[in-house]
A and B are shown apart, each in its own frame.
Chain A
Amino acid sequence: MRISFRDLCKSYGVAPATTEVLHHVSADIEEGQMCAILGPSGSGKSTLLQLIGGLESADEGSIVVADREITKMSSREIGRYRRDYLGFIFQFYNLIPNLTVRENIELCANLTRHPVPVDDLLTELGMIEHRNKFPAQLSGGQQQRCAIARALVKKPPILLCDEPTGALDSQNAREIMCLLERVNRDFGTTILIVSHNPVIVDTVHRVLHLKDGKIISDKVNTSPVPAAQLEW
């Protein structure tokens, strides 16, 4: 699913002490593309992801997803948009602590009529034996797999990943990237990965570099390297 954003601006704070986080940012992410958004802290990369995810509203500009302008949507429509089109993966997993692994995934499975069977997904992700455990009983890598399963269970056409490997060791980080790569390949899911780690640039189709709220480079990678071959 194609994502197109034009002249996006976003500021935080109260005048006159406002901080402009995004300054007229524009790009088109093609359907099925795996795109990394890189940049140092404060560059605006997470804000961009949040605007696309409808978690924040843009001050200016437009975001079009599946031919629909999301910046003009009501909160109810935004909810519908997130439900039908988006999967989220966060740096700190954001699992609900009082639900088991299976129940955390079912939370999202309930949002669609035809979800991926939860047990199949857990088997695929090597988590089936942990399905009745609570998040506190899992390692960071396992929790992130669970979070990915939760995002994938409703088969979203777009996956938004905010520092998905940021809290993981190299081994687990590689495995997560392999997983995302597979999802992109097998389901044609458009994936946006926000990261400050330049290692991942070789594995994605496209890399947007942000600095001080502006895109300073936009590179297309015609022959991505398999994530399994990455050196962290």
Chain B
Amino acid sequence: MILYRRIFREFRVHWVRWSSLVLLTAVGLAMVGALSGAAFSVVTVTDEYARTSRVEDGQFTVAAPLTDAIVSDIEKEGYELESSFYGDYASESGSTLRVFSSRNQINLAAVDDGSLPANSDEVFIEKLYADKMELSTGDKIRIGSSTYDVSGIGSLPDYEAVFRSIGDIGTDPMKFSVAVMTDSGYEKLVQTGTSTGSETCLYAFSCIDNASPEELKKYLRERSEEGVFLLSFLSAEDNPRIGAAGEDIVITGISGIVGGVIFLLLLGYVISVFMIQTIDQESSVIGSLVALGLRKGELIRYYIALPALIGFIGACVGTLAGYLLTPMQFAESCGYFSYPDPMVLIPPVWIAISLILPPSMCVLVNWIVIGRRLRVSPLSLLRGQREARMSRGPELHRMSFSMRFGIRHAIHEWRSAVSLLGALFLSLLLVMLAVDCFAAIENMIQDNREDTRFTEMTFLTRPLDTIPANAEEGYAEKLNKEAWGYEIDVTLLGIDPDNGFLPFDLPAGKNEVLISTSAMRKFNLSTGDRITLSEATGSKTRTFQITGVADYSAGSFLFMNIDVMRELYEREETYMNVLFSDEKIDLEPENIAYKVSRDDIIGYGDIFRQLMYGLLRLLAFTSTFILITVLYLMQKNVIDRSTYSIALTKTFGYSEREVRRLYLRFGFVVVAVGAVFLVPLSKVVVDRIFPILVSNVGVGMDTSVPFLTYPMIMLWIFLIYSAVYALLNGRLRKVRASEILKQRE
């Protein structure tokens, strides 16, 4: 059709609008692509890493090496077993290196550079450590009292999160990392006697067929009489060092998808507004074409072509940009974890969706909008429906002229006002997503600092005969509760009513508990509700009545009277398995299941902050860009449509300032009034969505913000509007009085 020749010309005439739409689509898709692409790539890479490196199904430590006979018996039970002994040694700059003997069957190292050690004077070091210490393959490194050649750099699958202890929350490569030597090299190192502690006899295992870690644990305990003295046992599922990166980045991925949905809605909205304007402007042309015999379908196809093309170009640019930005997102999200460098692995179906969805959205929206506009008769189109549009209106008396003008203008432009508000709301959703992430982190840091009164909370493997001085006892049972599809750990903690570290007014009833603020938020519960939890084995459930809320944010806890709890679980009157203390307590290692320190809890917030900052920056940038673009496009649209009346006022002698006041005040009032209502509304909406986004996090997040945040966001909107205002002012200046000679409304 000859009409299609107009497409390029239309683009040239309204290049600002169409280019902005390309840019808007590209930026939105780049954000979605980078976030979800990074998530998919990291999950894919770490899954593949786990498979190729034959990551363990579990590990255990024993007091002395197992005999060949016992190893053989374990293997006959359906387990593959490999010793992975290690010792901690002082290294460069005061850091500690955990050195392992070679691994051949389980937890195989992934080599990024160089190779695994072949000689006893070579060592393979973990990549984050190498990076911080600026070590490369071929460099020399001092471990203990000897010097080694760095044969290779990479990662170990059982140390994806390089925690020194299982209970650690933070990692710091400057302080602790891991390394691997040949068996002979390791033996020589042990013989130097420079280890900072005793050698740990660790065995990693993989389950074959239907064997399970629980059965192995039971089996090992049963062999205690044969000298198997089990110090610790940890299944891969419970090991926070394994699979950490993939679990962490899931939040990023979900944020990307939510952002994508919001963005697509916004895009559809903006495009529909433009198309309504185009159709209105071309009403008489369309009427003429219909009168000349063109079918509605042909016209719709023509008018859809450019938006679809624009959507497709934007999609191509955005998908490519997302692809290119994905590695940056890896660094932001997962630079904290140690795993092979991920490649950008975006599945073809995602690329297809990314390329198809924006133009499809353009086609769908325009099909609806144009189809509705073309329902009227050709004669009506020829005459233009706009004439009849303003034949009624409210009677406005006793108001200044400029006020009446403003109201009439707003009524005339109500669709633009709705569009402006819609765009503002959708942009604010992205902003609030960033605000909620920020608030959740900062509140967690603050609350953890205030709520954690103990220096250490130690979970024990067995009750102590005597409670150390300056320590208090507790009794904990691990239970689970399902939330948003995830099994969340909930600790039922029995404490003395006069516990100085957790000073809560405990209920006396048998099934009565206080709920921690964190659990309250996580499960959306309050005083008076009942909570049902399942035991770790999944065989039994327990229901408790919540009688109050305890100010404790560092985990999902239920607190009850320790005596009541002992009775409930039919334990001895003195049974305990938790120790709270305000100083470090030296206990035999075999007594410690794990420790949680106040520093760890506070440090956890800092790590979370570090992990989320990349996401926050991306959300802040994208929402600002989208808001500027959309505010500008929508307001420019109003100016374009009002060109005639603007020209007319200029013809009458209105100064630039007066014209600005008449025509730009509309946008300002809409944005200002909209901000007052939409800022709190968007916060409420995102607050509802946010728990879903962090559903895999074991604690409930407090997303409340100080009241000052709202005026600050409004100020941010005002600043953005000021930038847009300056652009619009330029646009307004370009409308010449002589336009009146070209147009007639």
Contacts and interface: CB of A to CB of B under 8 A. Distances in A.
Interface of A: 46, 50, 53-56, 76, 78-84, 86, 88, 90, 92, 94, 96-100, 103, 106-111, 132, 134-137
B726 interface: no
Contacts of A81: 653
Given A79-B656, A92-B744, A97-B745, 9 more contacts: A83-B652, A83-B655, A86-B653, A94-B644, A97-B386, A99-B408, A103-B404, A106-B404, A107-B649
B652 A103 contact: no
Contact of A79 (B389, B655, B738): B655
B656 to A, nearest CB: 7
B6 interface: no
Given A55-B740, A103-B405, A98 B393 contact: yes
Given A79-B655, A83-B652, A88-B652, A103 B401 contact: yes
Given A97-B390, A103-B408, A136-B388, A111 B656 contact: no
B737 A136 contact: no
A136 B391 CA distance: 6
13 contacts: A55-B736, A55-B741, A86-B653, A88-B652, A98-B390, A98-B408, A99-B408, A100-B393, A107-B649, A110-B401, A110-B402, A132-B395, A136-B387
Given A50-B741, A55-B741, A98-B408, A111 B386 contact: no
Given A80-B653, A82-B651, A107-B401, A97 B389 contact: yes
A55 B648 contact: no
A56 B404 CA distance: 31
A132 B404 CA distance: 13
A112 B395 CA distance: 25
Nearest to B412: A98
Nearest to A135: B390
Interface string B374-391: 000000000000111111
Given A56-B738, A94-B648, A98-B408, A84 B653 contact: yes
B655 A76 contact: yes
B484 interface: no
B651 A107 contact: no
B295 interface: no
B653 A50 contact: no
A50 B738 contact: yes
Interface in B392-412: 392-393, 395, 401-402, 404-405, 408-409, 411-412
B277 to A, nearest CB: 16
A108 B650 CA distance: 11
Contacts of B44: none
A230 B651 CA distance: 31
A65 B404 CA distance: 34
B650 A79 contact: yes
A108 B649 CA distance: 8
Nearest to B408: A98
Interface in B250-283: none
A55 B386 CA distance: 26
A108 B387 contact: no
B392 A134 contact: yes
B370 to A, nearest CB: 23
A96 B648 contact: yes
Contacts of A83: 652-655
Nearest to B387: A136
B390 A136 contact: yes
Given A97-B389, A136-B388, A79 B401 contact: no
Nearest to A56: B738
B120 interface: no
A134 B390 contact: yes
A106 B655 CA distance: 16
B645 interface: yes
A134 B404 contact: no
Given A94-B740, A136-B387, A106 B654 contact: no
Contacts of A46: 741
A82 B737 contact: yes
Contacts of A111: 652-654
Given A55-B737, A106-B401, A134 B393 contact: yes
